[in-house]
Amino acid sequence: MTLSYLTGLVVSGRVTPGAVAVFMAIALYINSKQAFVLWMRRREGNPSRSLAVFVLQVLAATMLLLPVLGKGLVLLMPYALVPFAYLLCLKFLGEHSIITEISGFVLLSLSALAAKLTATGVIDPVLFTAVAVFFIAGVFRVRVQFAKGMLQRILMIIYVGFAIAAYWLMHTPVLVLLPLIDNLIFSITLYRLKLRVTGWLEVLKGVAFLLLMAMNYH
């Protein structure tokens, strides 16, 4: 979420005082997931308490956004379908479904949209899509590492091709997808790497993406 948000800011070319408040609001929205999961699974003696925590976190996050975005918050309303879709996937498909994981990364990518709206007052769906397409690749990368099956490897290669095509259609510089070369190399060679190292590698790729977006996105 942090890298996605920073991407929105660097692409905007400016940082406003409200950027911190918006970042805190997004963090609250994301952290509310834990309370929602506890309520959904009914593992506590009082599930209504978890639901109350979830609602309070969402309300608190919205109250943080209102003074900063004001009427601009209305522009984000159509994108409310994204967290709603994620919560539905979480409830009916489970946390480890590939569709849930993909929708989770799409949800995190909304932070780039919010960052640019905060800085410029403009909604940029192309930026949102570009960020989501890049970070979703991480879902397929981790699945290749766990399963190492031919299907997972082929899907990873196909997804990189899809990402390139999507960027070309959006007139977004394909060069920013350069970090995904690692995904292709790993899918072909299955070079050995500990899971913890993979996590740090994904962070480094995200930082590289951030820098490339800053230099190439218009």
Residues 6+ apart with CB under 8 A from 92: none
The answer to whether the beta carbons of residues 55 and 64 sit under 8 Å apart is: no
């979480």: which residue's tokens?
A: 90
- Domain coverage including residue 139: 2-216
Report the percentage of the chain scoring pLDDT > 90. 56
Question: In the prediction, which pLDDT does 39 show?
Answer: 81
The answer to whether the beta carbons of residues 110 and 1 sit under 8 Å apart is: no
| Number of domains the chain is built from | 1
Question: In the prediction, which pLDDT does 43 show?
Answer: 59
Instruction: Provide long-range contacts, Cβ within 8 A and 24+ apart, for 18-22.
Output: 18/67, 18/68, 18/69, 18/118, 19/115, 19/118, 19/119, 21/64, 21/65, 21/67, 21/68, 22/64, 22/65, 22/68, 22/69, 22/114, 22/115, 22/118
Question: In the prediction, which pLDDT does 50 show?
Answer: 81
Question: In the prediction, which pLDDT does 116 show?
Answer: 93
- For the entire predicted model, the pTM comes to 0.90
Give residue-wise pLDDT tens across range 127-136. Answer: 999 999 999 9
Question: In the prediction, which pLDDT does 194 show?
Answer: 82
Residues 6+ apart with CB under 8 A from 68: 18, 21, 22, 118
Kindly give the parts of the chain with pLDDT less than 50: none
Question: In the prediction, which pLDDT does 168 show?
Answer: 96
Cα 210 to Cα 218: distance, rounded to the nearest angstrom: 13
- Hey, is 105 helix, strand or coil? helix
Question: In the prediction, which pLDDT does 45 show?
Answer: 60
